[in-house]
Amino acid sequence: MLRWRARYIQSLKHNTDRGQQLAGGANLCAVACKLRTRMSVAAAHRDTRPDTEELFARAQTIARMVGGRAQQTEADRRIADEVIAEMHRADLFRVLQPQMYGGFEYDFEVFARIVAIISGGCGSSGWVYGLLASHQWLTACFPAAAQEEFWHDPRALAAGTYAPAGRSVAADGGYRLSGRWGFCSGCDNADWLYLGGMIAEPQGAKPGFFLVRADECTIEDNWRTMGLSGTGSKNIIADNVFVPAYRTVSFAQLAAGAGPGTQLHANTLYRQSFLAVLPVTIVAPVLGMAEAALAGFLAMAKGRITRGAVAGGNRAMAELANVQARAAEASACIDAARLLMFRDLAEARAISARGGTLDVDLRLRNRRDQAFCVRLLVQAIDALFQAAGGQGLFLDTPLQRIWRDAHAAASHISLNWDATGTMYGQHLLGLEPNGQY
C-alpha cells in the first residue's frame, strides 16, 4: 500500500506534464512533500474516528435542531450559518472526507443513514448537508494539487451544479470558464463550487467538472419554490473565471471510478463509479422524510378521535380500515426503497473493495433504482398525506412540508422516473441508453 503511494508521489515530482503552478507559487514537488506529511498524520490518527452509533446520535441531535427551525429555514430560503456550524462541531462533514485530510473515510451506507436522519427533521437541511458532505468525496477524485488547495482549510465546503452548462477556452495553465448554472443547492454555505461544463481539449471538448472558488462567481437569488425552499438552490454565474488545469476532471474519469486523485487514498471508497453511488445524496433525504412522515402519522392516528358525519366518525382514527391500509402501504414502500438503496450501495462497496469496477449493467441498474426508490417514497408520503385529512394541512404540521419537499425532490432530473426508467428500458431492449450513467 505504501509503495504505490510513494510511486504516485514520485510521479507528481517528476512528471513535467503535471507541472502546473499552485496559487502562491508552490509547485507539485511541494505538494508531494505535503502529502508525505499528511500520510504520516493520517496513519497516526487512523483509529480515532467516532463509531457509527456516535455519528448517528450526533445526527439525531442535529435533526432535532433543524426540525425546530424548519419553518424559519423555509422563510430564509437557505440553511443558516449556525446550522452549518453545528454540523461542523459534530464532525459530520468529515464522514466521507479522506483520512489524509482529517476525515473518517466511512462508506456511503453510513453517510446515507446520516443524511436520512437529518432529513427527518428538515428535508432542506438534510438535502444541503448531503450535498456539501458528499463533495468531500468528489474532491478526493481530483488531482493531488486540487485536493491540497481545497483542504488547505480543513473545514472547506463545496456546493455544485452538474449540468455541463459552462463554456471553457484553453488558457496558459488551465481554462477560462463562463456560464450560468441553475439549482446550486447550498451555495450560500460554500467556499468552493463544482461547475459542470465542457473542458476544451485539442481533440474536442469533453464534459467534466471545474472546481472554482465561490467568491469568483455571482449568486443570483432566484430560489422561490413550493418545496425544498430552504436549500437555497440558486443560479450561479461565472464570467471568464480562470480555472487551473489541475482543478478539472472529466465525467468519463468519474464514471469509471478513475479520477486522477483517487490513487492517493488506499480506501477503495474513492474508486467507485460517480453516478452509481453519488445520487444517494438526493435519495437519502427522501427516505428520511418518508420515515419521519410515517412516524408522525402513526403517532397522530393512535391518539386522534375522528369527528364529523363520515362513516366511522367519533372513533379512534387508528380503528379505520382505510387508515390501516394507507399505513401498511406506506410502510411497505419505505421498506422496499430502503432495501434497494442499501443493497446497491453495499454491492458497489464490495465490488470496489475487490479491486473491481461496476459494469454498465450495474451502473444502469443503480440509476434505475435511485429513481424508483424516490418513486416509492413519494407514493408512501402521498398515501399518508391523503389519509391525514385536514390535520395534515396546517403549516406547523411537518407532514405538509414533507409532502411538498418530497415532490420537489422527485422533480430533480436525476430522479425523474420517465427519464431514468426510459434509459434502463433502452438498455434492456438492446438499445443504446440515452443519458448519463
What are the tens digits of pLDDT across the range 140-155?
999 999 999 999 999 9
Lowest mean pLDDT among 13-22, 238-247, 276-285, 299-308: 13-22
What average pLDDT does this structure show over 239-246?
Answer: 98
What average pLDDT does this structure show over 5-30?
Answer: 46
Give the pLDDT score at 45.
54
pLDDT value at 28 more than 60? no
304-318 tens-digit pLDDT: 888 765 666 678 899
pLDDT value at 41 more than 60? no
- Domain parsing of the chain, residue ranges: 2-147, 158-253, 274-428
What is the secondary structure of 17-69 as a DSSP string?
GG-PPPTTS--HHHHHHHHHHHHHHHHHTTT-SPPHHHHHHHHHHHHHHHHHT
Give the pLDDT score at 391.
85
pLDDT value at 160 more than 90? yes
Percent of the chain scored above 90 by pLDDT?
A: 83
Give the pLDDT score at 173.
97
- Tell me, what amino acid is at 423? M
Per the model's pLDDT, the better-predicted residue between 373 and 389 turns out to be: 373
pLDDT value at 36 more than 80? no
283-302 tens-digit pLDDT: 999 999 999 999 999 999 99
Nearest Cα neighbor of 196 from 174, 168, 173 is 168
Give the pLDDT score at 310.
62
Give the pLDDT score at 24.
40
Question: Model confidence at 265, in pLDDT bands (50, 70, 90)?
Answer: very high
Q: Residue 337, SS3?
A: helix
pLDDT value at 121 more than 90? yes
What average pLDDT does this structure show over 275-285?
Answer: 96
pLDDT value at 280 more than 70? yes
The number of C-alpha atoms within 13 Å of 395 and in the hemisphere containing its C-beta is 8
Percent of the chain scored above 70 by pLDDT?
A: 88
Sheet holding 234-244, edge to edge: 218-220, 234-244, 174-184, 158-171, 192-199, 206-213, 248-250
Task: Tell me how far apart the 2 most distant CA atoms of the chain are, in Å.
Answer: 82
Helices (H) and strands (E) in the chain, counts: 15, 7
Q: How far apart are CA 231 and CA 113, in angstroms?
A: 19
Give the pLDDT score at 305.
86
pLDDT value at 275 more than 80? yes
Give the pLDDT score at 22.
45
What average pLDDT does this structure show over 365-391?
Answer: 97
Fold classified for 274-428: Butyryl-CoA Dehydrogenase, subunit A; domain 3 (1.20.140)
pLDDT value at 156 more than 50? yes
Cβ–Cβ under 8 Å, residues 86 and 46:
no
Fold classified for 158-253: Butyryl-CoA Dehydrogenase, subunit A; domain 2 (2.40.110)
Helix boundaries (H) for 160-279: 251-255, 274-277
pLDDT value at 26 more than 60? no
Q: Residue 341, SS3?
A: helix
Burial grade of 24 (CB within 10 A; 0-12, 13-18, 19 or more): exposed
Mean pLDDT, the chain, rounded, equals 91
pLDDT value at 137 more than 90? yes
pLDDT value at 12 more than 60? no
Q: How far apart are CA 51 and CA 104, in angstroms?
A: 10
What average pLDDT does this structure show over 6-23?
Answer: 45
Cβ–Cβ under 8 Å, residues 349 and 109:
yes
Q: How far apart are CA 402 and CA 405, in angstroms?
A: 5
Spatial neighbors of 129 by CB under 8 A, at least 6 apart, are 62, 87, 92, 114, 115, 118
For the chain, the residue count is 437
Give the pLDDT score at 21.
43
Residue 376 DSSP one-character state: H
Q: How far apart are CA 375 and CA 168, in angstroms?
A: 36
Cβ–Cβ under 8 Å, residues 385 and 399:
yes
Q: Which cell numbers in the block locate residue 246? A: 489541475
CATH superfamily ID and name for 2-147: Acyl-CoA dehydrogenase/oxidase, N-terminal domain (1.10.540.10)
Q: How far apart are CA 53 and CA 341, in angstroms?
A: 20
What average pLDDT does this structure show over 269-273?
Answer: 96
Q: How far apart are CA 15 and CA 91, in angstroms?
A: 36
Give the pLDDT score at 16.
35
Give the pLDDT score at 244.
99
What average pLDDT does this structure show over 366-383?
Answer: 98
Give the pLDDT score at 104.
98
Q: Which cell numbers in the block locate residue 110? A: 453510513
Q: How far apart are CA 422 and CA 156, in angstroms?
A: 38
- The C-alpha cell 467534466 sits at 208
What average pLDDT does this structure show over 366-376?
Answer: 98
pLDDT value at 23 more than 50? no
Q: How far apart are CA 256 and CA 275, in angstroms?
A: 10
Burial grade of 75 (CB within 10 A; 0-12, 13-18, 19 or more): exposed
Nearest Cα neighbor of 213 from 233, 243, 239 is 243
Give the pLDDT score at 32.
53
Burial grade of 204 (CB within 10 A; 0-12, 13-18, 19 or more): exposed
Ramachandran quadrant class, 25 (left: phi over 0; alpha: psi -120 to 50; beta: rest): left
pLDDT value at 116 more than 90? yes
pLDDT value at 68 more than 60? yes
